[in-house]
Amino acid sequence: MIKSPRGTRDLLPPDTALWNFVEAAVREVFQAYNFHEIRTPIFESTELFARGVGEDTDIVSKEMFTWEDRGRAESDKGQSLTLRPENTAGVVRAYIEHKLWDRGLSKLFYIGPQFRRERPQKGRYRQFYQIGAEVIGPAAAGSQSPARDAEILELLATLLDRVGIVNWKLELNSVGCPADRAQFNEALRQALAPVVATMCADCQRRAVTNPLRVFDCKVPEDQPIIETFPTISQFLDEACRTHYEEVKNILNAVQIPYVENNRLVRGLDYYTRTAFEFTHGALGAQNAILGGGRYDGLSEALGGPAAPGIGFAIGEDRLVLSLTTSAESVVRKPDVYIAPLGAGMNREAARLARELRRHDLVVDLGDDSFRLKKSFEAADKMAGRYILIVGENEVKADAFAIKHLASGEQVTVPRAELAQWFLRKK
């Protein structure tokens, strides 16, 4: 038997109803904040992620699904392509390619699959799903304002509340500008020098290539060492410090609770200034539901104009795991099961089903091979509320027997009144 590849899974009913519930709520929140959907390819040029995410990140160095796309002729030079491991770089690529700066400030959201070759664990898959948003545009359009950072964070608090996530925690930090980071990296190198030999192999590599990535380390034995290192907050210039303070002031004004985490640096090289994560205890040690931050230099790094931006990505798989809502509670059960009885009743049943579905009623349909007892069993199995019987006598009378499956109560309703009768019972 052929099974799904390692690190992937099939999403099946009724669980898909829960995913649809989340995505519908998310779309409503994005609409309220005037965000608009963007859909980018699921694979992009490998160079996009190397330049955008950072060659020394774990994502680019270890986790990407990459291949050479060769032409039909042997002599055709191939292009290196990669299944997207994240979507911000693709959105910024689209922003540049289509000159979206002509429209002023772009507020864009996306929902879709991403791909990383990493060790599968609870809530973490090789094909996973993200809900994300980006605010990007010319500085003159207000894209650099701390108000944009606070708006994103307030949107996320609203979104988590809307889908029923309780007891979430917002962790907040500023990672400064590139000049701040350069000073911080030098201080980290000095702090790492006498101790790095005792740390894990990844930290030893990161100490050479990108010391900031040491804070991504999850090895328990390394954490006491990491706690002794300097923090980015010690190196923020006045502009970055002022920006960060204003973000916090706005959050206080709109009563969004947060905790400052000066070890939070996020996992991608393009972040500047504000960085954040929302966490939830239901996910165990890997407790981040979502994360994001500001990336004021990403557009320039990808060959575009100056276009400050801020965004986030929600791990939808992990978000669904955090819900207290059950799949069964959001599934729309059939309002009525139509049971055609006797030869030739399929056509009449299909006509009735079509009429009722036009009124946004959920209708399931049997066929006339079923006996009445079997029709009742089928209706009960799918948790329908009513069964509507279509036999020769009902068709001649143009009135149909309806039975409530839970109570056994039965009534006869004229055909012309059927839709309104069911609507009153919803």
pLDDT in tens, 81-109: 999 999 999 999 999 999 999 999 999 99
Radius of gyration of the chain (CA): 28
**Three-class DSSP category at 135:** strand
Q: Is residue 56 part of a domain?
A: yes
For residue 266, pLDDT over 70 is answered with no
Angstrom distance (rounded) from CA 123 to CA 239: 38
Residue 53: pLDDT band (50, 70, 90) is: confident
Residue 71: pLDDT band (50, 70, 90) is: low
Per-residue model confidence (pLDDT) at position 19:
94
Whether 151 and 169 share a structural domain = yes
How many structural domains is the chain composed of?
A: 2
Per-residue model confidence (pLDDT) at position 40:
97
291, 322, 353 — which closes off a domain? 322
Mean pLDDT of the chain: 89
Tell me which residue range forms the domain holding 303: 15-177+237-322
Q: Is residue 207 part of a domain?
A: no
Q: Is residue 85 part of a domain?
A: yes
What 1-9 contacts at long range (C-beta under 8 Å, 24+ apart), as own/partner pairs, is: 5/126, 6/120, 6/126, 7/117, 7/118, 7/120, 7/125, 7/126, 7/127, 8/125, 8/126, 8/127, 9/125
For residue 414, pLDDT over 90 is answered with yes
pLDDT in tens, 209-229: 888 878 878 888 889 888 888
Q: What is the CATH number of the domain that holds 116?
A: 3.30.930.10
